[in-house]
A and B are shown apart, each in its own frame.
Chain A
Amino acid sequence: MNTPAQASPAPVARRSRLDPELIPRRDFLGLAAIGSAFLALGFATLGMLRLPKAAVIPAPSRRFRVNLPESLAPGSPFVPPGRSVAVFRDEGGVFAISLICTHLGCIVKHVESGFDCPCHGSKFAADGGVTKGPAPKALAWLEVRKAGAGAYLVNEGKEVTPGTKEPA
């Protein structure tokens, strides 16, 4: 008599203490809990760091109006009080060059050859190009718009290609 062939059940992997699962269930849950706690902490920190990144820039308006004196000679700068901008007028028109050194933000001084920076010895040509020192780029030319007779609007926040002049 042969016994009916019994379908042998698939062997259940009975792991013992000496033959543990790769990642035991408890450890997995524990790690997941700790992991999510740290993840939450990380995101909370990132969220908090959003706060000191200033959203409102409390600086005065970058646009201002200048009235150029009639006597302004070509090549000599007009520096509006409280602004670090030199406004020039010549045959080509009116243009403005920022006086903020592109190296580390000192205020450059207008001299015969162009501009000199007192802080680290950068020198710039009359058109703002760097001729000496550590400044990485030329002084910025700023947007100028005509606003009535002898009056102009200068926008410190907007750079234009050097050489751009507003017809007087």
Chain B
Amino acid sequence: MSTGLARFTANLRAIPRSFATSFYRSGTPRTDRSRSSFVFSSLFLHFHSVRVHRWALRWSTTLGLGVISISAFLITLVTGILLMFYYKPYPSAAYDSIKDIHFVVPTGQFIRNIHRWAAQIMVVAVILHMARAFYTAAYRAPREFNWVMGMGLLVLTLGLSFTGYLLPWDQLAYWAITIGSNIAQSPRELTDALGITSWFDVGGLQKLLLLGSEDIGEEALIRFYLLHVMILPLLLTALVGVHFWRVRKDGGLARPADADRRLGPPPPGTYPVFTEAPARTYHLAAVVAGKSPAVSRGPEQTVPAVPHLFYAEAGVFMLTVLICLALALVWDAPLKELANPAVPENPAKAPWYFLGLQELVSYSAFMGGMGIPAIVLLGLLLIPYLDRETAGTGEWFGGPGGRAVVLRSAFFGLAAVLLIEAFAIRFGWIRQWWPATPQIVITFLNPGTLLTAIYAAYSMWLVKRYDSTRAGALGLFTCFLAGFLVLTIVGTYFRGPNWDFYWSKAQWPAR
């Protein structure tokens, strides 16, 4: 017997085992050490830290919202690629290809439903995730920059939803994008009023860049398609990478300074901490100035990421998939008649998460569509740089005033938006009283700007009253959530043909 051949057969038989070893690199993750190296020697897993604090694994810390967001994104990615097999981004073919997906392609409608539901869940989860990070004051140093990244992700998420809206090329799509692209053009409202449009036309340029033409046609469709399937997903993936990496680099999830004491000792069943001493320490060391997030913290309340964190993440992912599948089985994604540029939908409604904006836009296109959103976004971006306090970090509604401020602001925010809406619906606005009023007055003095000013003033009052920026931020954020909620509900349920107010759909006039 040749020993060469024997070695060959032995190697052949050992392939499953040796492949697995080459894959894991550190053997099966069974000990603390191999678990650690399982995480940090994998490109995809090393976004996680090797050990996580027990505080981060509590349900109430995150409600799993970040993982729900990324899960929904992954679902849209997979279903989106599947839809791309059949979708043709050309006006004469787009609608037909969606119909094919709907009625001919096996499981086509189901996949499209999942895509749509996952997109909706992503929008909701991203907004709630932002609210979670805000209310637990998780944006504070050293996590300020990650909050900024989060704002970028929010904008990209909304952009992805909006660009996806045009692709079916039905009536719903066509008129929602007509409104959207004219919002991009709305700075003209301001430049017209100042009389400078002829040489400084930002609005026209924005619309031209978005549509590639003056009307919505093949150029607009291909641009929206490119943004939807390529540019925005790539940007979002890159930002998500930075976002995750920063979570680890900023010391994991935010937790109160006395989290260790509050948690108490781990329950006896918890996977033991440090079952074996590290076999060797790193020999590379450098003395650098500055403070690491891990300074003066022992490894005591931490558990290995394998399996605790990964089980939790996998669980939330499965739950998200389950919810998407269930919703997709029950409710179909809508498809209206073929786009008709001569007859607008009546009422023409944007996707629900933009209906709050549409309500504002029905007072002033520029302020409602661009001015107020820009102010809100800027305000959100600046929060971590204005609130340099430390009290209440990592706690729900932490900070001066706390729950009481949130409750009171919710009440105030709701009351203010309801009163202003009721007034504008009942009595109209400046144009009806004095039709000759110049537009610039209405641009700066309308229910939307008034509401923003009232909220801002209320928040400043809270800052003074509690002597704390955090209290003001809590109030402002709560007010804006309340305003967003009410405006969205009014836009969704109480606006009918000609954007008139109706108590219910049953009262809509027959056409």
Q: A residues touching B (Cβ–Cβ < 8 Å)?
A: 52-54, 57-59, 82, 84, 103-107, 116-121, 129-134, 136-137
Q: Does B342 contact A (CB under 8 A)?
A: yes
Contact A134 B344 (CB under 8 A): no
CA distance A50 to B2 in the complex (A): 70
Contact B432 A132 (CB under 8 A): yes
* Nearest Cβ on chain B to A85's Cβ, whole angstroms: 11
Find B497's partner among A53, A84, A118 (CB 8 Å cutoff): A118
* Interface mask (B167-204 → A, CB under 8 Å = 1, otherwise 0): 00000000100110111011001001100000000000
CA distance A58 to B435 in the complex (A): 38
- 11 of the cross-chain contacts (CB-CB < 8 Å) are A52-B209, A52-B223, A58-B217, A107-B342, A107-B343, A118-B347, A129-B435, A133-B431, A134-B364, A136-B192, A137-B192
Contact B439 A57 (CB under 8 A): no
Residue of A nearest to B183 (CB): A104
* Interface mask (B202-228 → A, CB under 8 Å = 1, otherwise 0): 000100110011110111000100000
Contact A120 B497 (CB under 8 A): no
CA distance A121 to B209 in the complex (A): 28
Residue of A nearest to B218 (CB): A58
* Nearest Cβ on chain B to A57's Cβ, whole angstroms: 5
Contact A118 B431 (CB under 8 A): no
Q: Does B500 contact A (CB under 8 A)?
A: yes
Chain B residues near A54 (CB-CB < 8 A): 208-209, 212-213, 219
Contact B361 A120 (CB under 8 A): yes
Chain B residues near A119 (CB-CB < 8 A): 175, 179, 344, 346-348, 499
Chain B residues near A131 (CB-CB < 8 A): 431-432, 435
Chain A residues near B208 (CB-CB < 8 A): 53-54
Q: Does B307 contact A (CB under 8 A)?
A: no
- Known contacts A106-B179, A119-B346, A119-B499; can you find 12 more A-B pairs with CB under 8 A? A58-B212, A58-B218, A105-B182, A105-B185, A106-B178, A118-B347, A120-B362, A134-B431, A134-B442, A136-B193, A136-B443, A137-B439
* Nearest Cβ on chain A to B44's Cβ, whole angstroms: 31
* Nearest Cβ on chain A to B297's Cβ, whole angstroms: 38
Residue of A nearest to B210 (CB): A52
* Nearest Cβ on chain B to A121's Cβ, whole angstroms: 4
Q: Does B272 contact A (CB under 8 A)?
A: no
Q: Does B373 contact A (CB under 8 A)?
A: no
Known: A57-B213, A106-B179. Contact between A121 and B343, CB under 8 A? no
* Nearest Cβ on chain B to A78's Cβ, whole angstroms: 14
Q: B residues touching A (Cβ–Cβ < 8 Å)?
A: 175, 178-179, 181-183, 185-186, 189, 192-193, 205, 208-209, 212-215, 217-219, 223, 341-348, 358, 361-365, 428, 431-432, 435, 439, 442-443, 497-500
Find B212's partner among A52, A118, A134, A137 (CB 8 Å cutoff): A52
CA distance A136 to B365 in the complex (A): 8
Chain A residues near B345 (CB-CB < 8 A): 118
Contact A121 B344 (CB under 8 A): no
Chain A residues near B348 (CB-CB < 8 A): 106, 118-119
Chain A residues near B435 (CB-CB < 8 A): 129-131
CA distance A54 to B220 in the complex (A): 11
CA distance A113 to B284 in the complex (A): 82
Chain B residues near A133 (CB-CB < 8 A): 362, 431, 499
Contact A121 B439 (CB under 8 A): no
CA distance A52 to B209 in the complex (A): 7
* Nearest Cβ on chain A to B290's Cβ, whole angstroms: 24
Find A104's partner among B365, B431, B498 (CB 8 Å cutoff): B365
CA distance A30 to B192 in the complex (A): 47
Chain B residues near A129 (CB-CB < 8 A): 435
Chain A residues near B179 (CB-CB < 8 A): 104-106, 119
Residue of B nearest to A119 (CB): B348
Chain B residues near A58 (CB-CB < 8 A): 212-213, 217-219
Known: A57-B214, A133-B362, A134-B365. Contact between A104 and B344, CB under 8 A? no
Residue of A nearest to B497 (CB): A118
Residue of B nearest to A49 (CB): B209
Known: A106-B175, A121-B498. Contact between A132 and B431, CB under 8 A? yes
Chain B residues near A104 (CB-CB < 8 A): 178-179, 182-183, 186, 361, 365
Residue of B nearest to A157 (CB): B214
- Listed residue (B223, B342, B428) with the most chain A CB atoms within 10 angstroms of its CB: B342
* Nearest Cβ on chain B to A70's Cβ, whole angstroms: 25
Contact B214 A130 (CB under 8 A): no
CA distance A116 to B223 in the complex (A): 31
Known: A52-B212, A59-B214, A106-B348. Contact between A136 and B343, CB under 8 A? no
Closest CB pairs A-B (n = 9): A118-B346, A121-B499, A120-B362, A104-B182, A105-B182, A136-B439, A106-B344, A54-B212, A136-B189
Residue of A nearest to B439 (CB): A136
CA distance A58 to B183 in the complex (A): 21
Known: A116-B498, A121-B498, A134-B361. Contact between A105 and B209, CB under 8 A? no
Chain A residues near B432 (CB-CB < 8 A): 131-132
Residue of A nearest to B226 (CB): A52
CA distance A84 to B347 in the complex (A): 18
Chain B residues near A132 (CB-CB < 8 A): 428, 431-432
Contact B363 A134 (CB under 8 A): yes
Contact B342 A82 (CB under 8 A): yes
CA distance A58 to B363 in the complex (A): 32
Known: A52-B212, A59-B214. Contact between A118 and B189, CB under 8 A? no
Known: A52-B209, A53-B208, A134-B361. Contact between A117 and B498, CB under 8 A? yes
Known: A58-B213, A132-B428. Contact between A118 and B342, CB under 8 A? no
Chain B residues near A137 (CB-CB < 8 A): 192, 439
Residue of A nearest to B359 (CB): A120
CA distance A137 to B114 in the complex (A): 43
Contact B362 A134 (CB under 8 A): yes
Chain A residues near B499 (CB-CB < 8 A): 118-121, 133
Residue of A nearest to B358 (CB): A120
CA distance A59 to B363 in the complex (A): 30
CA distance A106 to B497 in the complex (A): 13
Chain A residues near B497 (CB-CB < 8 A): 118
* Nearest Cβ on chain B to A134's Cβ, whole angstroms: 5
Residue of A nearest to B208 (CB): A54
